[in-house]
Amino acid sequence: MDKDRIAVGGDSAGGALAASCTHWCKDHHILLCFQLLIYPVIDKRMKTDTAIRYKYGPLWNSSMSKKMWELYLRDGITDKEEYASPILAKDFGGLPPAFIEISEFDSLYDEGKNYAQVLREFNIPVELSEIRGGFHGFDILQNTELTKYAISNRCKALFHVFHES
């Protein structure tokens, strides 16, 4: 294992854990080379336009996110907020470059877009991949052109990190 080329990634709640991991690693002086966040859950406040618009939708929606946050934060946040809700961090400097994929009809669309914007404000390189026509978890439909397109983009991002940098 090359300790200088470790990346984290995940989708949905896994994206939240991956993003949170980047903050924890930064705080503990562990260098990560990349983060791959697929329609990540980033913001416990759930006040974005798409969170309000997609309160009820297929596979995942903001009503489900609300319940998820209640279960996840059952005892409240006992440490740094960004370890649970990454967008609440005060300092994003030193985080690894990111690939963030968001889906057009997803209650989490704005969360991913906002996170990309904040990272960019701290000069973190970000590739934001907006999946037009996608919804949260669209890639469960494995043989669609949309899923093939998204997976190809993800693989290209990882290939670039591990083979071209």
Interval 86-124: pLDDT, tens: 999 999 999 999 999 999 999 999 999 999 999 999 999
3-state secondary structure the chain: CCCCCCEEEEECHHHHHHHHHHHHHHHCCCCCCEEEEECCCCCCCCCCHHHHHCCCCCCCCHHHHHHHHHHHCCCCCCCCHHHCCHHHCCCCCCCCCEEEEEEEECCCHHHHHHHHHHHHHCCCCEEEEEEEEEECCHHHCCCCHHHHHHHHHHHHHHHHHHHHC
Which residues, 6+ apart, have CB-to-CB distance to 88 below 8 Å? 43, 44, 81, 82
Q: Does domain 7-75+85-164 have CATH number 3.90.1410.10?
A: no
Domain parsing of the chain, residue ranges: 7-75+85-164
Residue 15: band (very low, low, confident or very high) from pLDDT cuts 50, 70, 90: very high
CB 92 within 8 A of CB 29: no
Q: Is 12 marked active-site?
A: yes
Q: Is 107 marked active-site?
A: no
Catalytic residue selected from 62, 103, 107, 136: 136
Catalytic residue selected from 106, 107, 129, 139: 106
pLDDT score recorded for residue 58: 74
Q: How far apart are CA 83 and CA 89, in angstroms?
A: 8
State pLDDT tens for residues 142-151: 999 999 999 9
Q: Is the pLDDT of residue 14 over 90?
A: yes
Q: Is the pLDDT of residue 77 over 70?
A: no
Catalytic residue selected from 11, 12, 107, 139: 12
Q: Is 4 marked active-site?
A: no
State pLDDT tens for residues 37-76: 999 999 999 999 999 999 887 778 899 999 988 888 887 7
pLDDT score recorded for residue 73: 84
Count of C-beta atoms within a 10 Å radius of residue 151: 12
Q: In what order do the strands lie in the sheet with 98-105?
A: 7-11, 34-38, 98-105, 126-135
Q: Is the pLDDT of residue 78 over 80?
A: no
